[in-house]
Every structure is written in structure tokens, then in C-alpha cells.
């Protein structure tokens, strides 16, 4: 083999070795690189967290269009809806509603479907107006909240959803009451009656139902529907307390109708439905919150539901509840029952443990300083912290003499005027 042939073989071997090395290195780089769909999802999520909604939507939409079969495509679709939801503004919220509904159609079995339904209700709650304004979004919020409870009755947020449903229905009922009261004040009792009956039928848990019932009964009375008015007066007198219930009892007395006794259980239930009385004095924190609500989009109903659920699941000053224990793997703390020995002659049940005793005299309890109580008979452990009874002439007869009020300090000017120059 001549030198020319050897050189050609060496060149071929060198080229083959370099090609194999490049292929191996390229394969290693390709295996170590992040998949494009995951990179797009990561970038979109980071931009969404930074409220860069346009960039986030562009990344998620690129992922959906380029990798439609990716496992991250459903989450990207949902995150696009979230970007509109968090952006707020009426146009953005309406776009979010459309995106959430499309998500529920395209991915009906996805784990985020329940959250999508709840956020549809929440965004309508965001767009709700005052009771005396347009009730379109309040009615839509009521429909979506009811739909959530029908589709997901055992969801973890169901109690909070029911609370918000009552708040929405109170807004709707207040709007109907405003219209009915307008007719009532202008003596149009027929129109007022129809508004009040709609409240009683559709919103039975309205917080001001006693006022509605009283004005409904009076409207029926003015329309000479005495039997119907009597039935409403009776319902008001039996299930409520307060001035409206008292007025209903007087009306029954004037009509010479029997006055029913108040049902304490029903009264308690109806009192629990009343809205809390707001204090006219606002703290600095409340004033700051009012200013914030004026210049921002307001609170997020969905986030408030989640916060209330966490408060509900967290017990103050005790161990975790069963639901929290299952989620965290921690066993709930058992209730500790302690017993106490009761002296002879006392028939109270044992509920506490006996006090520690002295080593020298097991029957004698320790004094507060930790030493054995010498020369002292058995002490009632229930009254171990109570002093001995006072003398008979100083026994407490249930009335205590009020201490003398402290003398008021005279001002410097009064003292000068009193003493003179």
C-alpha cells in the first residue's frame, strides 16, 4: 500500500470520527434542552404573574396552535381566560366569560372545569351594580351560582357559594323592594303588591323580609283583601320580632283576629338572616378600603371565597379539623377530659382533676407556694383559689358599697380666682 492510499484512509477515518462525535454531542444537547411547549408555558405563566397579560396570552396561544396535542394545551387555554379575568374591565371580563365557556366545552372532564364555572359567576358578580341600577349582571350571577351548586354539589367551596348566592339574591330583592316601596308610597297598592309577592316567592331569605311582609299585608288590606292580609299579618307576628311584628299584632287586634304566639325557633332563624348593622363611624382601615374600592376594580369574589374557606377549615385555638387533617396527614388532637375528686357531701359530678398533694401527707393539698399545708384541714379543690369567708358582720349581702369617687382637680384659674391676689 503506497503512501497516497494510506493518507486517503486516514482522512476518511478522521472524517467519520468527527461526524460521529458531532452527532453524539447534538443528541446530548437535544436531550438536555427544555421542550418548546414547556418553555412557552413557563414564559406565559411568568408573564401572567407579572400582569403582563398580552405577552402571556401570546405565549399560551402559540403553544395551543403549535402543540395542540400537548398536555399543557388545556392549562394554556384556561390561563388565557385567567389573563382576561385578572385584567378586569368590562370588555376583558366578557372575553374571559367566553373563554371559560369554551374551555368547558372543549375540556368537559378537566380538573379546572369547576373553577371555570365558578369564575364565570364571580366575574358577573364583579360587574354587578347597586340594587337601584341595572340588575342584568346580578341575575346572571345568580344563574351561574345556582348552576355551580347543581353541577358540583359536593365541591369544597359550596358553603361559600351559598353565602354569595344569598348576597346576590339580597341585591336583587332590594332592587325589587325599592320599586315596590315607590308604588306603596304613591298609594298604588296593586303594583306594590305584585313587587312584594315576587320578593316573598323568589327570595324567601331576604334580610328585610319583615318590612316586605308588613307592607304587603297593608297593601292587601287597602285592596279589601282582608283574608289574605290576615294571613300575612299572622305569618309576620309568628315568625319575627321587632317593630314590624308588633305592628302586625296590633293590626290583627284591630281586625279582631287571633294573635299567634311567636315561634322562638322561627324567630331565631329569621333574625340570623338579617344583615349586620353597619356602624356610622368608620375606622382608618375601613376608609382606606373604601377609597381603594373607588379607584380599583374591587375585590375578587373568587379569591374571597377561597379565603373564607380557609378560615372555615381553620379552628382557632385547637387542632386541625378532620378535613384539614386528611389533607395534611396530621391526626386531629383528641379531646382531653380531666376529673377531680369532690369532697364528701358535694354531689356535683367529677369534671376536673384533684390538686397535687404533699409527699408527707398525701391527703393534704399543696399550698400555692409548693410546700405542704401544715395545720390546715382538707381544702375544697373547687374553691382552692377562694379566700376564707369573712366575718359574719362583714358578710356580703349581695350589695357592695361603691367607693367614693375621686375628687376633681381644680384648675389653676379657679384656684387663683378663689384665693384672690
pLDDT at 225 over 70: yes
Q: Is residue 223 part of a domain?
A: yes
More confident residue, 96 or 414: 96
The pLDDT value given to residue 199: 96
User: How much is the pLDDT for 132?
Assistant: 85
| Residue 64, pLDDT score | 96
pTM of the model: 0.64
Q: Last residue of a domain, which of 111, 134, 150?
A: 111
Confidence class of residue 233 from pLDDT cuts 50, 70 and 90?
very high
* Total Cβ atoms within 10 A of residue 167: 16
Where is pLDDT greater, at 407 or 149? 149
Which ranges of 223-296 would DSSP assign to H, the alpha helix?
A: 226-239, 243-254, 264-272, 284-295
CA distance 29 to 141: 52
Which domain, by its residues, includes 245? 209-274
> What distance in Å separates the CA atoms of residue 58 and residue 51, rounded to the nearest whole number?
13
pLDDT at 53 over 90: yes
Query: At which residue does the C-alpha cell 391526626 appear?
Result: 331
Taking CA atoms, 65 is separated from 37, 54, 145, in Å, by: 11, 16, 33
pLDDT at 86 over 80: yes
- Pick from 73, 69, 68, 80: nearest CA to 119: 80
Number of domains comprising the chain? 2
Domain limit, last residue, from 274, 290, 309:
274
Helix intervals (H) in 33-112? 36-49, 53-66, 73-87, 90-106
Residue 208 has pLDDT above 80, yes or no: yes
CATH of the domain at 49: 1.25.40.10
- Asked if residue 250 is part of any domain, the answer here is yes
State pLDDT tens for residues 396-414.
444 444 444 444 444 544 5
174 domain-assigned: no
**Residue 252, in any domain of the structure:** yes
Q: Is residue 106 part of a domain?
A: yes
| Range scoring the smallest mean pLDDT among 13-17, 104-108, 263-267 | 13-17
The Cα–Cα gap between 299 and 393 comes to 66
pLDDT band at residue 93 using 50, 70 and 90 as cut-offs? very high
Q: Sorting pLDDT into bands at 50, 70 and 90, what band is 281? A: low
Give the Cα separation of 239 and 260 in Å (integer): 10
29 pLDDT band, cuts 50/70/90, is: very low
pLDDT band with cut points at 50, 70 and 90 for residue 380? very low
Range with the poorest average pLDDT among 88-102, 202-216, 224-238, 319-333: 319-333
Average pLDDT over residues 131-150: 94
How confident is the prediction for the chain on average, in pLDDT? 76
Establish if 124 belongs to a structural domain. no
Per the domain annotation, does 201 fall within a domain? no
Query: pLDDT for 347-379, tens place per residue?
Result: 444 443 444 444 444 444 444 444 444 343 444
Task: Specify if 382 maps to a domain.
Answer: no
Q: Which of 111, 140, 168 is the last residue of a domain?
A: 111
Amino acid at each position: 500500500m503506497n503512501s497516497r492510499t494510506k493518507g486517503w484512509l486516514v482522512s476518511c477515518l478522521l472524517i467519520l470520527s468527527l461526524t460521529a462525535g458531532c452527532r453524539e454531542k447534538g443528541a446530548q444537547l437535544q436531550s438536555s434542552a427544555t421542550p418548546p411547549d414547556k418553555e412557552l408555558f413557563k414564559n406565559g405563566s411568568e408573564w401572567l404573574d407579572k400582569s403582563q397579560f398580552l405577552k402571556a396570552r401570546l405565549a399560551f396561544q402559540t403553544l395551543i396552535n403549535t402543540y395542540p396535542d400537548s398536555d399543557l394545551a388545556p392549562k394554556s387555554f384556561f390561563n388565557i381566560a385567567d389573563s382576561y379575568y385578572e385584567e378586569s374591565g368590562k370588555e376583558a371580563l366578557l372575553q374571559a366569560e367566553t373563554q371559560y365557556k369554551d374551555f368547558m366545552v372543549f375540556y368537559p372532564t378537566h380538573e379546572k372545569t369547576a373553577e371555570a364555572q365558578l369564575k364565570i359567576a364571580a366575574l358577573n358578580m364583579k360587574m354587578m351594580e347597586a340594587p337601584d341600577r341595572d340588575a342584568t349582571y346580578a341575575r346572571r350571577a345568580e344563574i351561574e351560582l345556582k348552576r355551580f351548586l347543581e353541577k358540583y354539589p359536593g365541591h369544597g367551596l359550596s358553603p361559600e357559594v351559598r353565602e354569595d348566592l344569598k348576597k346576590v339574591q339580597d341585591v336583587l330583592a332590594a332592587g325589587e323592594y325599592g320599586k315596590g316601596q315607590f308604588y306603596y308610597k304613591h298609594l298604588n297598592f296593586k303594583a306594590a303588591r305584585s313587587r312584594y309577592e315576587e320578593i316573598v316567592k323568589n327570595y324567601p331569605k331576604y334580610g328585610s323580609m319583615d318590612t316586605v311582609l308588613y307592607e304587603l299585608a297593608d297593601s292587601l288590606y287597602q285592596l279589601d283583601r282582608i283574608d289574605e292580609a290576615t294571613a300575612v299579618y299572622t305569618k309576620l307576628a309568628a315568625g319575627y320580632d321587632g317593630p314590624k311584628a308588633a305592628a302586625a299584632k296590633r293590626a290583627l287586634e284591630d281586625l279582631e283576629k287571633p294573635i299567634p304566639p311567636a315561634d322562638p325557633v322561627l324567630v331565631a332563624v329569621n333574625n340570623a338572616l338579617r344583615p349586620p348593622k353597619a356602624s356610622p363611624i368608620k375606622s382608618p382601615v375601613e376608609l382606606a378600603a373604601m377609597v381603594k374600592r373607588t379607584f380599583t376594580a374591587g375585590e375578587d369574589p373568587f379569591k374571597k371565597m377561597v379565603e373564607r374557606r380557609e378560615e372555615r377549615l381553620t379552628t382557632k385555638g385547637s387542632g386541625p379539623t378532620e378535613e384539614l387533617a386528611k389533607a395534611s396527614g396530621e391526626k386531629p388532637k383528641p379531646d382531653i377530659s380531666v376529673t377531680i375528686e369532690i369532697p364528701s357531701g358535694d354531689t356535683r359530678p367529677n369534671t376536673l382533676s384533684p390538686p397535687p398533694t404533699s409527699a408527707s401527707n398525701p391527703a393534704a393539698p399543696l399550698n400555692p407556694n409548693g410546700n405542704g399545708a401544715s395545720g390546715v384541714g382538707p381544702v375544697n379543690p373547687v374553691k382552692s383559689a377562694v379566700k376564707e369567708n369573712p366575718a359574719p358582720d362583714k358578710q356580703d349581702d349581695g350589695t357592695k358599697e361603691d367607693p367614693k369617687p375621686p375628687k376633681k382637680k381644680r384648675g389653676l384659674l379657679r384656684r387663683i380666682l378663689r384665693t384672690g391676689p
